[in-house]
Amino acid sequence: MTVTVIQQILSGDLLGALDTISTALVDGIAAVGGPTLNAIIERRQRVLAVQSALQVAVPTAVIGLATSFGTALNGVLKASITGGQGVVDAVLTLDLRNIATALVDGTRLVLGSFVAAATTSSTASSRRRRRSLTRWRPSRPRRRPR
């Protein structure tokens, strides 16, 4: 390019020399700036995709968590009431064997409800996570023909 510009200047073709210089500058800027601009655009698209997924996922997760805790608390309270009713009924019979059986059954019911609540909460949250987040694949940059 330098030789061409010098030849054009020496031959008196100043407009051609200026055109050669501007073409070289524009091509150089396009060669460097194009991929850089594409990378910036692609990065911003990824950030926007993550932000939009989070805008949907976070409220869904909070609602799911609150629902899971409510369901778990409901199960534990029901088991506690049922176990307490069994103990009261056993105490009213004044039979030591019935009281011991009622205490064991009530404890088993309450502990079982804790396990069921934990299992339900973890299962529900993992299902929501899989359903709410889609797999994002970045676009491949196009190669410019040479």
- In tens, the pLDDT along 88-137 reads 888 888 888 888 888 888 888 888 887 877 776 666 556 555 544 455 45
Q: What is the pLDDT of residue 132?
A: 46
pLDDT at 71 over 50: yes
Q: Is the pLDDT of residue 15 over 70?
A: yes
* 21 close to 2: Cβ distance less than 8 angstroms: no
pLDDT, residue 44, reads: 92
What integer pLDDT is reported at residue 43 of this predicted model? 92
pLDDT at res. 62: 82
**Distance from C-alpha of 50 to C-alpha of 4, rounded to nearest angstrom:** 50
Q: Is residue 121 within 8 Å of residue 69, measured between CB atoms?
A: yes
What's the chain's average pLDDT?
Answer: 80
Q: Does residue 19 surpass a pLDDT of 50?
A: yes
